Amino acid sequence: MLKLKQLVSNLYHFAFGREVHTNGMNADGTMSVAAGDPTLSVTPLKGLEMLPDRIPCENSMLDISEYKQSENPLIFTVEGSSMSPEDISNGDKLLCRKVDTDAAKLIGKGKFVVIAVDKEYYDSKNKELKFDYKLRHTLFRVPVGISIEQLIDSLKKITNSIFLEENQKNLEIKYNEAIGFYKDKKELMLSVTYRKGNLRYSFHPVDLIQYVAEYVLKHNGEEWRAKKLE
């Protein structure tokens, strides 16, 4: 099925000069996830070969056929460079596992998560979405209602970046905005992204986490190689 979609994509690209998307899915059978602002368009990386069923991973071979053949999409193409400081770049592929609401509530620090973009939130900012999903790196589950001082004190126990005054100011701005919009939520996930290499904070309801990335696939110019993320 993936090869057929790639053939269609190649013919379409040859005829019209752009890639075809079907039912929200890319022509190679993957879904797109924004690494950065989901309201901004990204030029996708083109010309990479299709994913084989087996990919080198450290000192062994990783069989990814179950990810490829899953009824629900489990492979995402990264579009954007905001996660480059974490060695996840534009054009990389993420092999993910689906998580339900109960499992999402157990996610802690250090997971790369695929989050369903909250359309109502971006509508409130008068911004049009270009992506349905965004990629973030989890940091801390935040009980809604704690003060910014309590939040900063909690973060000082797990990350050195919060000791920078600039980061504390950015955190306060994002937190006040988030609790104003999500005041009916009991808990938010604080995660991080990057803008031009600089750390940025992001708050979102825990139940918007749809997937956890297990592997990242990177193309080195000759072949795909996998790296375990969790």
Give the pLDDT of residue 206.
Answer: 96
How far apart CA 57 and CA 227 sit, in angstroms, is 6
Say how many C-beta atoms besides its own lie within 10 A of residue 82's C-beta.
Answer: 26
Q: How confident is the model at residue 4 (pLDDT cuts 50, 70, 90)?
A: very low
The yes-or-no verdict on residue 24 having pLDDT over 90 is no
**Token pair 């990919």: residue:** 55
Q: Which residues pair with 176 in a beta bridge?
A: none
184-219 pLDDT tens trace = 999 999 999 999 889 999 999 999 999 999 999 999
Res 12: pLDDT:
37
What is the pLDDT confidence band of residue 50, given thresholds at 50, 70 and 90?
confident
* pLDDT for the residue 46: 65
The per-residue pLDDT for 51 is 93
**With the CA atoms of 53, 59, 60 and 66 taken in that order, what torsion angle do they form, in degrees rounded to the nearest 10?**
-50
Q: What is the DSSP string of 129-181?
A: -S-SEEEEEEEEEEETT--HHHHHHHHTTT-GGGGSHHHHHHHHHHHHHHHHH
Q: Read off the pLDDT of each residue in 31-38 and give the average, rounded to a whole number.
A: 94
Confidence of residue 2 (pLDDT cuts 50, 70, 90): very low
Its pTM stands at 0.86
The two tokens of residue 65 are 């056929």
User: What are the CB-based long-range contacts (under 8 Å, 24+) for 18-23?
Assistant: 19/44, 19/46
The gap from C-alpha 88 to its chain's centroid, in whole angstroms, comes to 10
Task: Give the mean pLDDT of 55-64.
Answer: 96
Buried b (16+ CB within 10 A) or exposed e, 17-50: eeeeeeeeebbbbbbbbbbbbbbeebebeeebee
The larger pLDDT score, comparing residue 168 to residue 19, is at 168
Instruction: Extract the tokens encoding 152.
Output: 């900063």
Burial-class residue 95 by CB neighbours within 10 Å (0-12, 13-18, 19+): buried
CA distances from 156 to 139, 140, 219 (A): 12, 11, 36
pLDDT-derived band at 136, boundaries 50, 70, 90: very high
**pLDDT: is 27 or 135 the higher one?**
135
Supply the range of the domain harboring residue 174: 2-228
Q: How far apart are the first and last CA of the chain?
A: 29
d(Cα 169, Cα 79) in Å, to the nearest integer? Answer: 28
pLDDT at 171 exceeding the cut of 60: yes
What is the distance between the alpha carbons of residues 63 and 66, in angstroms, rounded to a whole number?
Answer: 8
User: Total domain count for the chain?
Assistant: 1
Can you read off the two tokens belonging to residue 151? 């939040």
